[in-house]
Amino acid sequence: MSAPRERLHRLLAEGGGVLRCEPAWVARDFLPPGRRLGLPDDAYDLGERGAVCERWLASTTKADNRIGPDDEGLSHVVGEHGDRMLLRDAVAADPAAVLGASYAATHPAGLGRLAKIFDYAYRLPYHVHPPQRFASLVGCNAKDESYHFLPGDLGAHPETFFGVHPWIAEQGAGEVLLPYLVDWDSDLVLRHARAELQVPGEGFHVPSGVLHAPGTALTLELQEDSDVLAMFQALNAGRIISKELLFKDVRPEDREAEGERFPLRFVDWEVNGDPWFYEHRHLSPQPLDDDGVESWVFYNTTKYAGKRLVVPPGRVHRLREPGAYSVFAWSGTGRYAGHEVRGGEPGLDELVVTHDAATVDHEVVNTGAADLVVFTFFGPDLHPGVPTIPVRSR
């Protein structure tokens, strides 16, 4: 066996099919951090790289930053006896061992999803993620994403702008946004969007092609494994951000041919102007059992899925899943599939449960005095029975 494959198999044998992840911190240079990720206060600011504003969870996706280390955004798996490797390399070394042979054969992209926590002191600028037909032009995946707002400090602006006013879509008036992209000197593009309150324990499903400006609530996000975007808002947090972010994932020839008009192609006007946008995209927890231990919190798509588990003190919850998944302990203490987990302690709060361990009965045990709250994340097509929100007629 090759060295990476040998290392992976040692880690799998040592952990009984469960891999422990180190935290993967990600810096951004266009907004200040919210400083709610549990780091020492002097660890957030990273000079030219910006500041730590995100933590990526069980990630095989590299952060697409202007400046940063080669492994920024990529998770490392670690063993008790010194073995350490990138999760991306582990999956590549033996996809069948991590994902199961059948799933690996039909999903060559691997885990196929990215979970993260983002933590900003100001609202993110209004932006869009290119749908697949445009993301493919620059060799990337699309970036459908979903949010779950975590409890605690909601920050200064706990509301998210979504889409555009319906009249813009109904009248085909998308070019009303063009002057803001050309002038690149204000935040007034937000006058054409609608804002929704961020409520802890709830969230939203945001397909690629939807304009959005996320608010300041500490947010757990699950998305396709990509980092593509086009910024549509120039002024944010009191300064003008680089216009290069408007064209970040636009080919030079398309920029030269169409200029600021080209990113407008990324916008799905029908979904953005949907008068039932809230009803079609709002995510409230959907319990899977009568006692409410397991609830779907990321759903309404086949591209990824996620649950929240709330295990009371002294309780044991047994589960079996259809394939490999990752685990993030938010609060409380316990054992997950035989491994210690502690919410709020990076290095003890994150696991990957590989296929063979996931598809047999395993236990979540609360060993503390408070609820053990855990989130679990699944890649595309693993849970065909995930709830979908019914479409309303006008």
185 and 230 assigned to the same domain: yes
201 and 120 assigned to the same domain: yes
Structurally, the chain folds into a number of domains equal to 2
271 and 133 assigned to the same domain: yes
230 and 314 assigned to the same domain: no
For residue 392, the model assigns a pLDDT of 86
154 and 46 assigned to the same domain: yes
Answer whether residue 390 is part of any domain.
no
153 and 269 assigned to the same domain: yes
Convert the pLDDT of each residue in 14-50 to its tens digit. 999 999 999 999 999 888 999 999 999 999 999 999 9
241 and 293 assigned to the same domain: no
For residue 202, the model assigns a pLDDT of 98
262 and 294 assigned to the same domain: no
Distance CA 237, CA 182 (A): 20
The residue range of the domain holding 34 is 23-74+114-282
Convert the pLDDT of each residue in 196-230 to its tens digit. 999 999 999 999 999 999 999 999 999 998 889 99
124 and 257 assigned to the same domain: yes
| CATH code of the domain covering residue 189 | 2.60.120.10
* Banded model confidence at residue 2, pLDDT cuts 50, 70, 90: low
278 and 302 assigned to the same domain: no
Q: Which pTM value belongs to this model?
A: 0.96
Convert the pLDDT of each residue in 57-95 to its tens digit. 999 999 988 899 999 999 999 998 889 999 999 999 999
Convert the pLDDT of each residue in 269-294 to its tens digit. 999 999 999 999 999 999 998 888 99
Distance CA 312, CA 372 (A): 6
Strand partners, 203: 148, 283
190 and 67 assigned to the same domain: yes
Query: In this model, does residue 1 exceed pLDDT 70?
Result: no
Average pLDDT in the 149-163 region? 97
40 and 148 assigned to the same domain: yes
In order, the DSSP letters of 199-246 are -TT-EEEE-TT--EE--SS-EEEEE-S----EE---EETTEEPPGGGT
Convert the pLDDT of each residue in 102-148 to its tens digit. 999 999 989 999 999 999 999 999 999 999 999 999 999 999 999 99
Answer whether residue 16 is part of any domain.
no
